[in-house]
Amino acid sequence: MTEKEEIVEAIGHLYRRGLITLSEGNVSLRKGEVFYITPGGTRKDRVRPSEVAEVSLGGEILRGRPSSEYLLHLEIYRRRPDVVAVVHAHPSFVLSLASAGIPLRYPILAEAVFLLGPVPIVEFSLPSSQELADRAGKASLRHDALILQNHGAVTLGPSLDLALAMMETMEHVAEVLWRSLNLGRVSLLEEAEVERLLGLRKKYGLSPRPWRAEDFLWTLEG
């Protein structure tokens, strides 16, 4: 599969999984000094490989009409040379919890702990703005999964498959937290287990991150 075909498949997958609506979301894949990114202004279930845009890491649009959110992708690639793919979606459970002020920093699911770590909420900026790109880029120095306040979520990874899997995991853990809160009980992992889980990152080809058990939240409010 070419990079452009991979992008088309990934954005279609996000739509079919209900992680974006028809007009939302964007996906990019870096290759050398350029990255390929979904086009803006098209239905996300019908993107054609020929419509996939190409942007240089210098910020120059080389081909096509990139998603209006391309600055966010650019700022992440500039700051994180290890990142090969960036996925941006608008997952409902993640956004509902964030809207209610409930962060995704509770260690409740093993895979979410080592794949996502403690997920920060990036302060609101207008979508597609340089300010949003700068804030998300800055947060990406310490994190591979971000929530954009009152807007959406971003995952970044060493491959498009992994960045997509991280987005699904983020929505999955948010749904489990939502349902647990509704049941009135949430059981957290133990600190020693969280430290051991973070140690698994290398085995899965993930770059080491600076998270420790203390970066997670250990008491549920309210």
DSSP 66: B
Identity of the residue, 76 or 113, whose beta carbon is nearer to Zn ion in the bound complex? 76
The one-letter code for the residue type at 160 is: L
The residue whose Cβ lies closest to Zn ion is 152
Collapsing DSSP states into helix, strand and coil, what is residue 152? strand
* Interaction site with Zn ion (CB under 5 A): 152
Tokens, residue 87: 């996925």
Angle between helices 160-183 and 3-16 (to 10 degrees): 10
User: Least distance from C-beta 130 to Zn ion, angstroms?
Assistant: 15
Tell me the backbone φ, ψ of residue 90, rounded to 5 degrees.
Answer: -125, 65
How many degrees, rounded to 5, is the angle at CA 27 between CA 21 and CA 29?
Answer: 170
Identity of the residue, 137 or 152, whose beta carbon is nearer to Zn ion in the bound complex? 152
User: Least distance from C-beta 155 to Zn ion, angstroms?
Assistant: 13
Tokens, residue 13: 């997958």
User: Least distance from C-beta 65 to Zn ion, angstroms?
Assistant: 17
Annotated catalytic residue within 3, 6, 24, 69: 69
**Residue 221: active-site member:** no
User: Least distance from C-beta 151 to Zn ion, angstroms?
Assistant: 5
Residues 6+ apart with CB under 8 A from 17: 168, 171
Tokens, residue 23: 């007009």
User: Least distance from C-beta 153 to Zn ion, angstroms?
Assistant: 9
Using CA atoms, how far apart are residues 81 and 156, in angstroms rounded to an integer?
A: 11
DSSP 18: T
The DSSP bridge pattern shows strands 145-148 and 121-122 to be parallel
Active site residues: 69
